[in-house]
Homo-oligomer: A and B are copies of this chain.
Amino acid sequence: MGRVRVHNMSVSVDGFAAAADQSVDHPIGVGGERLHSWIFETKFGRGMIGAEGGTEGADNDLLIAGDTGVGATVMGRNMFGPVRGAWPDDQWRGWWGEDPPYHHPVFVLTHHPRAPLQMSGGTTFHFVTDGAEAALARAQDAAGGRDVRIGGGAAVVRQFLQARLIDDVHVAIVPVVLGRGESLFGGLDLPALGYEVIAHSAPADVMHVRLTLRATTS
Q: Which residues of A contact B (CB under 8 A)?
A: 13-15, 31, 171, 173, 175-180, 185-186, 188-192, 195-197, 200, 202, 205, 207, 209, 211
Can you give 8 contacting A-B residue pairs, CB < 8 Å? A13-B185, A13-B209, A14-B185, A15-B186, A177-B191, A179-B188, A179-B189, A207-B207
With both beta carbons as reference points, the residue of chain B lying nearest to A198 in the complex is identified as B175
Looking at A14, A15, A178, A180, the one whose CB has the most chain B CB atoms below 10 A away is: A14
Extra pairs beyond A13-B197, A177-B185 (6, CB < 8 Å):
A14-B185, A173-B207, A175-B197, A175-B207, A175-B209, A177-B191
Q: Within the complex, what minimum Cβ distance (angstroms) separates A6 from chain B?
A: 14
Are B211's CB and A177's CB within 8 A? Answer: yes
Are A191 and B207 touching (Cβ within 8 A)? Answer: no
| Residues of the B chain whose Cβ atoms lie less than 8 Å from the Cβ of A186 | 14-15, 186
Known contacts A202-B202, A207-B207; is-contact A14 B173 (Cβ 8 Å): no
Name the residue on B nearest A20 (C-beta).
B189
A189 contacts which chain B residues (CB < 8 A)? Answer: 179-180
Q: How far is the CB of A157 from chain B (nearest CB, A)?
A: 13
- In the assembled complex, how far is the CB of residue A11 from the closest CB belonging to chain B, in whole angstroms? 8
Asked whether B191 lies within 8 Å of A178 as measured between CB atoms, the reply is yes
Measured CA separation A200–B176 after assembly (Å):
10
Question: Knowing A178-B191, A186-B186, A192-B179 touch, does A173 contact B13 (C-beta < 8 A)?
Answer: yes
Q: Indicate whether A177 sits within 8 Å of B195 (C-beta atoms), given known contacts A13-B185, A185-B13.
A: yes
Closest to A11 in B: B13
**A13 contacts across to B, CB distance below 8 A:** 171, 173, 185, 197, 209, 211
What's the Cα separation between A105 and B13 when bound, in Å?
32
Contact A197 B176, beta carbon cutoff 8 Å: yes
A196 to B173, Cβ gap below 8 A?
Answer: no
